[in-house]
Amino acid sequence: MVCATKRRRGRRPWHWKEERVESKAKIMGHPIHPILILFPLGLLTTSVVFDVVHLLTGSGKWSEISFWMIAAGVIGGLAAAVFGLIDWLAIPSGTRAKVVGLWHGATNVVMVTLFIVSWLLRADAPGDPGTVAIVLSFVAVGLASLGGFLGGELVVRLGVGVAEGAHLNAPSSLSGRPVGTGSTGVQREE
């Protein structure tokens, strides 16, 4: 006897329903959270690179640059978190997406907190941050990688933040046409 939920060639289990949760916070048709996360991820990761350069060269100018990159990255991370929370609240309870979203958010909150502590430890002498401040940044950037992976899982595997009916020939979000139409305006066939 074959279980009703077992996958059969190319078919989805009978109880599986295609669901997507569109972002609730958008600008010009695009979710705000994924737009904003690029800045803190880039700034905070690069701050660690400059810490490495500081360690290799002994030059305090690199750790000073890192100090200011951390400040900007933390501000960007906090801004992105607001919109991430808005989107997470829209995910239905009891779903894998809600759990993954919780871990994604918690990982990133811890990551930003570690960078804040690192920044505070550097505040008196940005050119000579000390070992603890640098180690905290290294741990935090590892958490940023995990948080980024979980965010990718939400979008790519679980469809969070993806427009309902999204497809390869969807019209531009600036066109004002619904996603279900093609780029030529013709209604998409399933």
| pLDDT tens profile 112-140 | 999 999 999 999 999 999 999 999 999 99
Rounded-to-integer distance, Cα 62 and Cα 69, Å: 11
**Two tokens at 178?**
């619904």
Contact between 112 and 81 under an 8 Å Cβ cutoff? The reply is yes
**Residues forming beta bridges with residue 181, ordered by sequence position:** 187
167 pLDDT band, cuts 50/70/90, is confident
**Helix pair 38-57, 131-152: axis angle to 10 deg:** 150
> Residue-wise over 19-52: b if at least 16 C-beta within 10 A, else e?
eebbbebbeeeebbbbebbebbbebbbbbbebbe
In the block, tokens 């800045």 appear at: 39
Q: Does position 190 have pLDDT exceeding 80, yes or no?
A: no
Q: Does position 64 have pLDDT exceeding 80, yes or no?
A: yes
